[in-house]
Structure 1
């Protein structure tokens, strides 16, 4: 009997021929060495892994308190009835020696009864306060929500809404009477006159302000040179800050720093000048009051004359 031909062992793991094929001569990237059916055939940029930081544990925070009044079969644990039943005094008063263990145990029992009564009473007060505050906040939010829901619709929303709620049959088929047309025309004419008068008033005011400010306009090269020399000085005589009397921060006759005039005015200084009515700062606000009164008188004069007044005329 001839010998049997040995069988080839079956492969234990199947491998993709596209991934295992070795190509010696190639310049493609490693991701390009896979076939079109491979999910990585097209290189897609991947963002870095998003890792959310864990919530930091804060030491000393209190856990969510449990409801100590739950499971009392409808009875209030802070009531006198429930406390009297659970903090009863001993029926038999046994003679105890001073400093003995029995005396110490009686003191501990009395302390536990007192702590139970005071603790439940304080917890009831705190729970009532918290519930009342939550109820007030909920009622306030409900009232705000009801006010927003019942608020009348704005005119802009009504005109731009897709559903305007108008009676289209009446709008397209109804013809107003001549009296209604005349009233509508008079209303439109009055509105047009009001808008035209407001536009004319604004234009006249702008022209008057332009006329008042035109005296300081720079329209010639000579005026420009004079303004530059006044603001920055010349090479021979540059603009300096401060003087010998006003040298709070080291300024002098030829100081080149604006801080030589002193520190700038703070908001507190302006408030003190405007609101000082007495005390140690009353005299500090005298100069500020004169400027405020001058501005008020200038505004009153503008209202009475109907025109804008410049700073020199106030």
Structure 2
């Protein structure tokens, strides 16, 4: 085909070089396929072979929540809905006979036929729903009884030999309880023993309470209840500003460390063994006080 007259008149030098370059197909610098140009977060980043047809059925997504079906056989009258009396009262036959003459005779006959169809459909639907309800109740009751029977069988089944041999040792009371031979009601002797133990425990509590009350009464004479007694106790423990309490033999030391290091355990034990001197006198008084408290039955 010869070139057109317009293109022949235009010289090659006057043609646009940019247009000429754009007409040339550009080659990509990358030799990868277009599939690998996807980002890593794309599900198609790794090519996984897929079958031509899915091998699992797709689950239909049901949106929303289905309402709880109401019980249509709830008895609100003295007649059951599946009984003949209820169906007869709900689907009464018409009292008006068929109109065979007049301009509206055909329309009235059609309406009567439709009413008869509705009555038959209502009777049939009620009976079918009643049979379906009875079948569902039967299946539910059988399933419940089967589950209860399985539970009773599992509870009452005998212990396996491997479990009996590998069980840790248990006490006699627990074995009797598991075997069902544990005596729940106490006998007369057990009841008498329990009553005596309870009386002894209550008596011990009463004696402990009485001893604590007597100890409180004896120690109450040293309680500080007034400001004068508080001042006397402070002066006895710390002294006054003119005559503070000293810690040395001369009663002039202001620190207990001026007398030297405190007594060791060995030194205190030696003081207890040696009953001579002031240490023996203090120990003898403590022992006499304890003996008197035991004899009198209270604190001194």
| Shorter-normalised TM range | 0.3 to 0.5
Task: Give the TM-score, by structure 2 length.
Answer: 0.39
Structure richer in helix, relative to its length: 2
Task: Give the TM-score, by structure 1 length.
Answer: 0.37
* Structure having the higher Rg: 2
